[in-house]
Amino acid sequence: MKQLDGKTALVTGSVQGIGLAIAEALAGAGARIALHGLTTPDEAQSAADSLRQAGAPEVRFFDSDMRDVDAIVAMMGEVAEWGGADILVNNAGIQKTVSLAEADAATWDAILAVNLSGAFHTMRLAMPLMAQRGYGRVINIASVHGLVASVNKAPYVASKFGLVGMSKVAALEYAQAGTKRQGGVTVNCIAPGWTETAIIEPQVQARASQFGGDRDKGIADLLAEKQPTRRTSDPSEIGSLALWLCDPIAHNVTGTTIPIDGGWTAQ
C-alpha cells in the first residue's frame, strides 16, 4: 500500500509551480487530490491529468478565490462532503514588489487576504475534523520572508511572518490530538528561498534588465545577493519535504518552519 492511500489532500494554488509539485508528490503516495487555482479550463485539466498520471486515484478541481471568505467556506464545505481534508497545504500566494511609501491599500489587502487570511479560514474549517480522526497535516508554504525581511516587500513579508506565527499557535492548540500510532495532527511551514516558479519571474526580469536582458545573469545576481549556495531549488524538492511531513513518523515535528533556502537564513 502507498503511505497516503485513503487520504485526501487539499492543496491551494496547485495548478502550477510549488503547489503542483506538492500535489504530485502526495498523489504519488496515493492521496486523492483537491486541486485548486484560478486558471483556465485547459490549464486545470492539464494539472488534473498530471496528478492522475502521478498516481492520484481521484482529482477534483476547485476555483475558489482566496480573497473571498464565502468562496473559501463553500469550497471547504464541498471538500468536507467529499470526506474532508486529511492534509491541507496552503500554498496559494501572491506578491508585489513595491516600496512601503508606494504601496497602496489595495495591494496590502489583496496580499494579506490570499497569503494569510485564506490560510486562516481553511485551517479553522479543516482542523477540527483532523482532530476527530487523530491524523491531520497542515503544511503552510511560507517563505524565507517569513523569517527574514527584504526591502520593497512589506505586505508580502508581513503576510509570511503572520503565517509562521499562526502556524505555531495552531500547532500548540492541536498538539495533543491523535496518537503516535495514528500520526497526530501537526502544523508546519516550509520556507523556500529562490525557487524556479512564476512568482519570482518579475524580480528575475527586473534584475535581468540590469544585464541587457540576460536572464541567466539576472538569476545569478539575485542568488549571489541572498542564497549562499547560488543554486535555485526545484519545486519537486519542496514536494518531497511535504510528503515526508505527512508520514506518521513525523508526528512530533510540529510548530516548525523548515527553510529550503541554500543557507539564506543562516546568515
Q: Is the pLDDT of residue 199 over 80?
A: no
pLDDT (average), residues 111-134: 98
The CATH number assigned to the domain holding 12 equals 3.40.50.720
For the chain, give the mean pLDDT.
Answer: 96
Q: 65 and 102 share a domain?
A: yes
pLDDT at residue 181 in the model = 95
pLDDT at residue 218 in the model = 87
Q: 52 and 113 share a domain?
A: yes
**Rounded percentage of the chain residues whose pLDDT exceeds 70:** 100
Q: 74 and 176 share a domain?
A: yes
Q: 154 and 23 share a domain?
A: yes
**Rounded percentage of the chain residues whose pLDDT exceeds 90:** 89
pLDDT at residue 198 in the model = 79
Does a structural domain hold residue 164?
Answer: yes
* Pairwise CA distance, residues 207 & 190, whole Å: 26
Q: 91 and 203 share a domain?
A: no
Q: Is the pLDDT of residue 148 over 80?
A: yes
pLDDT (average), residues 95-117: 97
Q: For residue 254, what are the domain limits? A: 8-193+236-258
Burial 145-177 (b: 16+ CB within 10 A, else e): bbbbeeeebbbbbbbbbbbbebbbebbeebeeb
Q: 116 and 248 share a domain?
A: yes
| Residue showing cell 502544523 | 187
pLDDT at residue 203 in the model = 82
Does a structural domain hold residue 59?
Answer: yes
Q: 56 and 144 share a domain?
A: yes
pLDDT (average), residues 243-252: 97
pLDDT at residue 160 in the model = 98
Task: For residue 10, name the pLDDT band (cuts at 50, 70, 90).
Answer: very high
Does a structural domain hold residue 3?
Answer: no
Q: Is 156 a catalytic residue?
A: yes
pLDDT at residue 222 in the model = 85
* Pairwise CA distance, residues 43 & 47, whole Å: 6
Does a structural domain hold residue 264?
Answer: no
Catalytic residue among 61, 62, 135, 156: 156
- 92 half-sphere exposure, CB direction, 13 A CA radius: 30
pLDDT at residue 6 in the model = 96
Q: Is the pLDDT of residue 13 over 80?
A: yes
Q: 136 and 214 share a domain?
A: no
Q: Is the pLDDT of residue 1 over 90?
A: no
Q: Is the pLDDT of residue 28 over 80?
A: yes
Does a structural domain hold residue 101?
Answer: yes
Q: 221 and 249 share a domain?
A: no
How many distinct structural domains can be found in the chain?
A: 2
* Pairwise CA distance, residues 31 & 8, whole Å: 5
pLDDT tens profile 222-233: 889 899 999 999
* Nearest Cα residue to 153 out of 198, 195, 95, 200: 95
Q: 113 and 222 share a domain?
A: no
pLDDT (average), residues 61-68: 98
